[in-house]
Chain A
Amino acid sequence: MSTSRFFGPGEAGPNATTDRGGTVFLAIVALVAVGVPVLNQFVPSSSPFHLSPYAMTLIGKYMCYAMLALAVDLVWGFCGILSLGHGAFFALGGYGMGMYLMRQIGTRGVYGNPVLPDFMVFLNWTELPWFWYGFDRFWIAALMMVMAPALLATVFGWLAFRSRVTGVYLSIITQALSYALMLAFFRNDMGFGGNNGFTDFKDLLGFDLQAGSTRAVLLAVTAIALGLSYVACRAIVASRAGRVVRAIRDAESRTRFLGYKVETYKLWLFVISAAIAGIAGALYVPQVGIINPSEFAPINSIEMVIWVAVGGRGTLYGAAAGAVLVNYAKTVMTGAFPEIWLYALGALFVLVTIFLPRGVVGLVRRQTS
């Protein structure tokens, strides 16, 4: 297996004028945003068209993964930055949301402390750590869900790109970053609930998280966020900045020689990508009802890359579709034979790399042309 498959050029560039695949993608997302809540809320459960809360949550989860796949594709597909650490940005966004939800519990916790979440009372803490201040206000928390991953990406990217770390080395250190964060978040004294993380959430912006209507709205919001993320990513890759980014992927030093600050381009792309991953994580947590350090697990970040490879690198909508496909397969498989999932995933990756270098999108394009 040649490394150029992973670090060399991906799909040829997006055609600036037409984006048929993207239009279809946005139409499907719009349909989901309206259709799924309607089928869940307004179709009686006796009807065969009724969508169960379980199915709706699953669709919501898949859409968060699809957003995450867009983020990974933005840096990997278009700039050749193979990040194996996007799980960390996703988890940080999720923790930001989790902190807000924990503070919303208030006196309804087991210990009834109006300020301290249960796990802090359990650890005999008497004061809220400074970095929890402000998380009772949604706008501050929302800002942090984006800013925390973006800031980490800024610091990390600035150091890595400025010292011209590329290729396998960059992949390895992103993976190490995620692993280090996982170990840190496992520790009780970090102040993020240790290995249990956060759960037992009550409400979001005053709406009961157990209520079907809240969950339906959450799903619609997730679909809208996915659509907007696509539009944002697409706007970037179809702009001149996107062409510079692909030029960097093809011939980095030549791009530098033309006067482009390659490091700055990579940094912006990486930070935007991390912010999208953070938003995806933030939307994921209230739907699944839990966030814990296992979200930082290195394998998660590797899975994300596989989604993108399966869907079609450098196509955005293909990456999103890949996330849904692979996760649907995972849901089915882990239900039936949980122990073989990782092998199946590995095999899938190898097969796609060898037989479908352009992913499912490449296959579809070949069939239609």
Chain B
Amino acid sequence: MSLPPDLATGKILYLEHVTVSFDGFKALNDLTLYVDPGELRCIIGANGAGKTTMMDVITGKTRPDSGSAWFGRTIDLLALSEPEIAEAGIGRKFQKPTVFEQLTVDENLELALAGKKSFWHSFSATLSGAQLDRIGEVLSITNLLEQRRQPARSLSHGQKQWLEIGMLLMQSPKLLLVDEPVAGMTPQETERTAELLLSLAGDHSVVVVEHDMEFVRSIAKQVTVLHEGHVLAEGTMDQVQSDQRVREVYLGS
């Protein structure tokens, strides 16, 4: 097990002066961003603003040309591989839900458990009481208790998204990165997702990338606006919406 992030200086995530270029084009340009422990942060920005690239940097999928990325004060994310970063406590939900369609909801969560993953270990593994409790807990957080014995393919789009968030929670991450969670959801599902993400904040830090302004307004205390790979504005939803630069480049008025 790796050490938990050291939060002594207050932040859980430090991105400082991060630049990523693709063939000379700067997807991230001197990006600096901090996230507090337990915070729910929304990131908004036009298409191509660099939101997904930022998550790629945090999870080790993309290496920046310059800048630094620290998880707490002691874990240098740029020195870790993707699985090591996941192990250290950063969970990521991709835009497209990928659950195991042919396995039941329970089994999906079982496979997402932290712990040894070798073939022979899995062959003889049984669920401990604590693990069963954890699965039950995650099922109730994600509102999937009734569906636990159903194959995941029978779930609605929204339920699959929640199941995937549940699979992240099984690893007990400190920081959750969630990319466009409500795309394609019904209004009821969107509302449920807002409740879910709000309930996760506090125990976890949550960073949400989302286009849906209504949704962002309903959950966010702190909003960061990205523009051309750079932070354009940061503050409450009202503050950023009244920011003149934001109105010019993003909200288009």
Contact = CB atoms under 8 A, between A and B. Distances in A.
Contact of B98 (A12, A251, A261): A251
B112 interface: yes
A265 B118 CA distance: 8
Contacts of A50: none
A258 B117 CA distance: 9
A259 B86 contact: yes
Given A244-B111, A258-B112, A260-B117, A250 B101 contact: yes
A241 interface: yes
B151 A240 contact: no
Interface in B83-138: 83, 86-87, 98-104, 107, 110-112, 117-120, 122-125
Contacts of A250: 100-103
A254 B123 contact: no
Interface in A24-83: none
A33 to B, nearest CB: 27
Contact of B122 (A13, A240, A257): A240
B151 to A, nearest CB: 6
Interface residues of A, number: 25
A246 interface: yes
> What is the interface residue range for chain B against chain A?
20 to 34
B86 A243 contact: no
A38 B12 CA distance: 74
Given A239-B122, A259-B117, A251 B100 contact: yes
Interface in A204-260: 235-236, 239-241, 243-244, 246-247, 249-251, 254-255, 257-260
Nearest to B126: A240
Contacts of B100: 246-247, 250-251, 254-255
A132 interface: no
A246 B104 CA distance: 11
Given A236-B123, A243-B110, A258-B112, A12 B102 contact: yes
A240 B98 contact: no
A243 B107 contact: yes
Interface in B48-71: none
Contacts, number: 73
A268 B120 CA distance: 9
Contact of B103 (A235, A239, A246): A246
Contact of A244 (B87, B104, B122, B151): B122
A9 interface: yes
Contacts of A259: 83, 86-87, 117
A152 to B, nearest CB: 19
B125 A240 contact: yes
A323 B212 CA distance: 56
B127 to A, nearest CB: 9
Contacts of B83: 259
A264 B111 contact: no
B131 to A, nearest CB: 11
B118 A9 contact: no
B117 A239 contact: no
B119 A265 contact: yes
Contacts of A247: 100, 103, 111
A260 B118 CA distance: 7
Interface in A248-285: 249-251, 254-255, 257-261, 264-265, 268
Contacts of B123: 235-236, 239-241
Residue from B83, B87, B117, B125 whose CB has the most chain A CB atoms within 10 Å: B117
A265 B86 CA distance: 21
Given A12-B151, A259-B83, A264-B118, A240 B103 contact: no
Contacts of A249: 102
Contacts of A235: 123
Contacts of A12: 102, 151
A235 B83 CA distance: 29
Interface string B155-190: 000000000000100000000000000000000000
B43 to A, nearest CB: 22
A235 B125 CA distance: 12
Contacts of B103: 13, 243, 246-247, 250
A241 B100 CA distance: 14
Given A9-B102, A244-B122, 14 more contacts: A13-B151, A241-B122, A241-B125, A243-B110, A243-B111, A246-B102, A250-B101, A250-B102, A250-B103, A254-B98, A254-B99, A258-B117, A259-B87, A268-B120
20 contacts: A12-B102, A13-B103, A235-B123, A236-B123, A240-B125, A241-B120, A241-B122, A241-B123, A244-B111, A244-B122, A247-B111, A250-B103, A251-B98, A251-B100, A251-B101, A254-B98, A255-B111, A258-B111, A260-B117, A268-B119
Interface of B: 83, 86-87, 98-104, 107, 110-112, 117-120, 122-125, 151, 167
- Nearest 8 interchain pairs by C-beta: A241-B122, A241-B123, A240-B122, A254-B98, A247-B100, A268-B119, A240-B125, A250-B100
